[in-house]
Each structure stands twice: as structure tokens, then as C-alpha cells.
Structure 1
């Protein structure tokens, strides 16, 4: 099934520099021209946490919407299940990197040329109204808003659930050497201003 593309006839914000795109079948909002002052370039509402099932559709949609070729995707290792090392896409293999030092609420797509695209992940089990509000909000000019502020405006929980050991205490992670349960830091190169 080919997703139907919907685009707004005018920017949703007077400060917007490009018309946002919303792919309703894939549940994706994306600014065609990323705003370097924004912490995310859009949002994605996958149907599950299964990376192998969800990422091929995302790759195809982003390639088509941006007229670019996705070469690599970075995900948070604990936010997804069934993460493959590579995903076939239009005659190439897209490399999937998983990390634990990134914000689990975002996914980063990198290309051969140009800046990476950072998408806010709307949890799969989110109710439709809140998810659609988040998709619409991230299609607007959101420069200066943190991820927490975007989620608060869309009436979603702002912080991911802390990861703790069975006794409730924070524990040390083997990969990357950080304390699990501490707030994740953004390594996307984008501002992380608090609101």
C-alpha cells in the first residue's frame, strides 16, 4: 500500500520557511527544509516498537519527501525491539546504529549530503488525538522549544520512564558507561533548550 501524501497549502506559522508535509498512512510529519534552530525536524508515530517492521516504511517515506537517500539511522537501543544492523532499501543497505547515550524519544536519519533529520518518536500506544496534535505541532515552526516543551504542548508525558533495576535504584550500563536512570543527553548537534 502506498501512503497518501497530504500537504498544507500554506505554512502553519508565519515564521515557517517551508510547507510541512504530513504522511497520514505512515503517521509522519516532516519539514522539507530543516530548521537548524529546532530540536526536531518533525515527528513519527510508528505502530509498534519493532524496528525491523517499522523502519523500512519510514526510510521510503523520508527518501521520497526529501528527495534524498537515507544511508544511516540512529536509534536508542532500549526504545526499540528487534533492531537489525541493516535494512534493505531501493538497491542499498541502510545501516542501523543503536545507542544508549542518545535521547530515546528521537530517531536520527543521516544522508550522503546535507544535515541529518531528527524526528520525535510518538510512542506506538499513544491515543490518536494526542498523537495527531504532536504531528501537527512538529510541522510548525518549533524553533526554541525543547522536546519536553513540545510534548507538554501536545499533552503527552514529557519525560521517558526512568530505567531502574529491580530494587528501584539506578544501575550502571555496560555500553557507553553511564548510569541508567539518569536523563539522556542529546548528541544530535541540535539545541536542547529547556522550557
Structure 2
């Protein structure tokens, strides 16, 4: 089974990251909504992006045991990643929303993160990161990522957008 496990070295002190992690989480204890925050990775290579994310997230769900993701969103992902000496089980599903990743830790603790496309414009990404991390935010992933939302402006609701797509028109 070693062929399905990828060893990801821990971040070395001699090799500091030149990029900050683009992540925003709701305050601890927030129960509202579909997501617990948002993450804006720099690529679609989940195995390469996870070490920095998991280093930060380990304080929330404890030791991370499992990551679930949508199979169509990411490039090739191994069944397990070895991160800082611990095996993390990677489980891809076609049924998981394409714009989410769930990080599960000990004791059934888990975080569901909204995933922003790596090529999203910075201003739009910042707006969505901040909105997804608000304590009271209960927007669905589709609503948070809905196209045509103006940065800094009012946002239309998802029901109206679906109605317009189905042939309705807002004047």
C-alpha cells in the first residue's frame, strides 16, 4: 500500500513559506451555517496544499485523521498523506459539494471549509473569505460563491438567481 501513500515533509525552519495561508475561520464555538470558514488555496494540488493548512487547523479538531473532498475538484490525490509523522486518510466523493473540504479530527470533531478557486480575483476572494468567517453567517457554499456578486455591494439571494436562470427576469 505504500504506493497510495504520499510522504509530505513537514515545513522546515530553513525553508520558510513565502506565502501566507489564505484561510479565515469562524470564531470557535460558532454553530451557524454550512461552513466553518473559507480557504483560498494557490493550486488544485490538494497533496501540496494540505501541509500548511493542516498545521494551522490541528488546533481546532485536534489530531487530524481524515480529509474528505470532491473527486472532480482536485488533481490526483493519494489515499493517505503522511504529514508530520501521522497518516491522514484522504477520501474523495462525487457527492461532496465541489467547493468544500471537510477536515475530521479526534472525537468526531470536524471543520467544513469553503474552497475558493485558486484563480479567483483577490478582491472577490477577500470578500468571500471574510463573509464565510462571520460568526452568524449561514449562507450555503453556492450562495457564498454565486457568480455576479459585486465586491462590497449587496448580494442577491440564490433563489432569485435560480429563478432567473429558469427563465424568470428581475426588472
- CA RMSD in angstroms, aligned pairs only: 2.5
Asked if structure 1 preserves the Cα contact closer than 8 Å seen for 2:33 and 2:136, the reply is yes
- Verify: 1:131 aligned to 2:125, yes or no: yes
Query: TM-score, normalised to structure 1's length?
Result: 0.63
Residues 32 and 72 of structure 1: CA distance in aligned 2, closer, same or farther (over 3 Å): farther
- Matching residue of 1:93: 87
Say if 2:50 is the partner of 1:55: yes
Which of the two has greater helix per residue?
2
Higher mean C-alpha deviation, range 44-53 or range 24-33: 24-33
1:74 maps to what in 2?
A: 68
The structure with the larger Rg is 2
Query: Which ranges in structure 1 are unaligned for 5 or more consecutive residues?
Result: 4-23, 160-195
SS of 1:113 mapped into structure 2:
helix
Number of aligned residue pairs: give it. 137
Cα distance, 1:144 vs structure 2: 3.0
The residue aligned with 2:107 is: 113
Q: TM-score, normalised by structure 2?
A: 0.71
**Structure 1, 118-127 or 146-155: larger mean CA deviation:** 146-155
CA contact (8 A) 1:35 1:143 kept: no
Question: Equivalents in 2 of 1:109, 1:67: separation in Å?
Answer: 8
2: CA distance, partners of 1:126 / 1:29: 16
What residue ranges of structure 2 are gaps of 5+ in the alignment?
Answer: 1-15, 159-171
The correspondence of residues 22-61 of structure 1 with structure 2, limited to 5 A, is 25-61=20-56
**Quick one: distance in 1 between partners of 2:44 and 2:25?**
20
